[in-house]
Amino acid sequence: MRVLILGGTSEANLLAAAVAAAGLDAIYSYAGRTQVPVNQPLPTRIGGFGGADGLADAIRQQGFTHVVDATHPFATEISRNAVAACATTATPLIALERKPWIKMPGDIWIEVQDVAAAVAALPQARANVFLAIGRQHITPFATRPQHAYTLRFIDAAGGSLSLPDADLIVSRGPFTLAGELDLMRSRRIEWIVARNSGGDGARAKIDAARELKLPVIMIERPALPDRSRVESVAEVMQWLGHRACLGA
Ligand code: 3Y8
Ligand code: NAP
């Protein structure tokens, strides 16, 4: 058995620890989006594969017998590539995917389908807006230059920001409720834009918004292709363990 873990999330990190503890032969894969990704207790590769075909070649050439897609619910490209590459190479694939956040009593959510709809949902009048959606989807907000934006990236911007009135926080999660409350109060945040990533690493801002009775423009998850999916590391280990018995 040789497992390829497509990682880059808190859940992938927990899985890597379990796989390493079980002594399985596995490789952890990052896209290479951040400058200093978290170290893993497994051999790690960094960078794209070169599309679905490149991933299929890697599976063949490196002899992977199982693929676990433990990437992020908004990482749609790699997830689609994994489905295609595993179909082409007849390699078992499972997704480790956390549940979306569910709106709770007291939440003030404006649920939208995508970034463009999130931009359109902002008020016309100038407001203090917290864009907690990383760096890859900031440019569309330039059509609403009237707002004072607070952005949060994992690494420094490395160039000018595409928004005229923007303040950048460089911080990697997981985040805490106290920290998010402090950020929102000190910056007098009036609106939050978030993506329904689910999981614990990013949910503190949602809890803080509820406590402060602030509206959250919540971008819903994009559709992903059908594939086997589980929500816990234990279920992935069972899936690997089960197949190890049958297919060792
Ligand atoms: C490169 C690996 C851990 C894992 C940490 C989770 C939790 C903190 C919350 C906010 C939201 C955001 C963003 C976020 C969170 C965890 C987890 C999570 C959101 C790392 C990581 C990689 C990335 C890539 C990065 C994206 C960006 C998105 C920031 C490592 C830290 C906004 C997602 O600069 C860039 O190009 C960054 C790009 C994709 C989304 C975007 O479009 O900008 N994640 N995040 C992975 C790789 O190279 O393969 O560096 O160690 C992983 C984590 N990010 O326990 O250490 O599991 O979700 N990541 C979102 O939710 O919208 C921050 O600020 O409130
Ligand atoms: P994406 O749009 O789905 O993928 C874009 C390209 O990046 C893929 O086609 C692939 O390149 C490469 N790639 C993505 N994940 C990879 C991985 N784990 N290993 C090797 N190559 C990978 O991905 P994304 O949204 O930019 O996310 C990139 C990484 O950040 C993922 O590991 C994801 O888990 C992590 N992350 C993303 C978010 C988010 O909000 N999107 C949040 C937290 C963590 P090739 O086509 O060349 O193979």
73 and 93, same domain (yes or no): yes
200 lines ligand 1 (CB under 6 A): no
- Average pLDDT (34-54) is 97
pLDDT, position 73: 96
Q: 83 or 243, which is more confident?
A: 83
Top-confidence residue, 87 or 247: 87
Higher pLDDT, 88 or 164: 88
* CATH value at residue 230: 3.40.50.720
Clarify whether residues 125 and 170 are in a common domain.
Answer: yes
122 and 83 in a common domain: no
pTM over 0.85: yes
Identify whether residues 115 and 204 lie together within a single domain. yes
With bands split at pLDDT 50, 70 and 90, how would you rate the model's confidence at 247?
very low
- Residues 79, 21, single domain; the answer is yes
pLDDT confidence bin for 248, thresholds 50/70/90: very low
Binned at pLDDT 50, 70 and 90, residue 144 comes out as very high
- Considering the domain architecture, whether residues 194 and 144 belong to the same structural domain is answered as yes
13 touches ligand 2 (CB under 6 Å): no
Q: Please work out whether the CB of residue 153 comes within 6 Å of at least one atom of ligand 2.
A: no
Q: How confident is the model at residue 245 (pLDDT cuts 50, 70, 90)?
A: very low
Answer yes or no: is the C-beta of 10 below 6 A from any ligand 2 atom.
Answer: no
Q: pLDDT at residue 89 above 60?
A: yes
Q: Are residues 229 and 145 in the same domain?
A: no
Quick check: is 244 in a domain? no
Shared domain for 114 and 88, answered yes or no, is: no
> 187 C-alpha to center of ligand 2: Å?
31
Q: What's the pLDDT at 157?
A: 86
Q: What is the pLDDT of residue 151?
A: 97
Predicted confidence band of residue 173 (pLDDT cuts 50, 70, 90):
confident
Looking at the structure, tell me whether residues 12 and 53 fall in a common domain. yes
pLDDT at 243: 53
Considering every ligand atom shown, identify the ligand nearest to the alpha carbon of residue 45 and give its number. 2
Q: Which ligand is nearest to the CA of 34?
A: 1
| Ligand 1 proximity of 98 Cβ (cutoff 6 Å) | no
Q: Using a 6 Å cutoff on CB, does residue 198 contact ligand 1?
A: no
> Per the domain annotation, does 247 fall within a domain?
no
pLDDT digits (tens, 9 = 90+) for 177-228: 999 999 999 999 999 999 999 998 889 999 999 999 999 999 999 999 999 9
CA of 78 to the centre of ligand 2 (A): 6
In-domain check, residue 90:
yes
List pLDDT tens digits, range 3-17.
Answer: 999 999 999 999 999
- Domain for residue 172, yes or no? yes
Predicted local confidence at residue 246, as pLDDT: 47
Tell which atom from ligand 1 comes closest to the C-alpha of 205: 65
In this structure, are 178 and 116 located in the same domain?
Answer: yes
Judge if the beta carbon of residue 81 lies within 6 A of ligand 2: yes
The CATH number given to whatever domain includes residue 156 is 3.40.50.1380
Q: Which domain holds residue 161?
A: 108-219
Please check the confidence at residue 244 and state whether its pLDDT lies above 80: no
Question: Considering the domain boundaries, does residue 248 fall inside one?
Answer: no
Residue of 15, 34, 44, 78 to mutate, ligand 2, most atoms within 8 A of C-beta:
78
Q: Quick check: is 160 in a domain?
A: yes
Number of domains forming the structure of the chain: 2
Pocket test for ligand 2, best of 71, 172, 203 (most atoms within 8 A of CB): 71
**Residue with token string 């911080």:** 171
The chain-wide mean pLDDT, for the chain, equals: 95
In a domain, 176, yes or no: yes
Mean local confidence (pLDDT), 121-139: 96
Which pLDDT belongs to residue 158? 82
pLDDT computed for residue 174 by the predictor: 86
For residue 137, the ligand 1 atom closest to its alpha carbon is: 42
Rounded distance between C-alpha atoms, residue 142 and residue 9, angstroms: 29
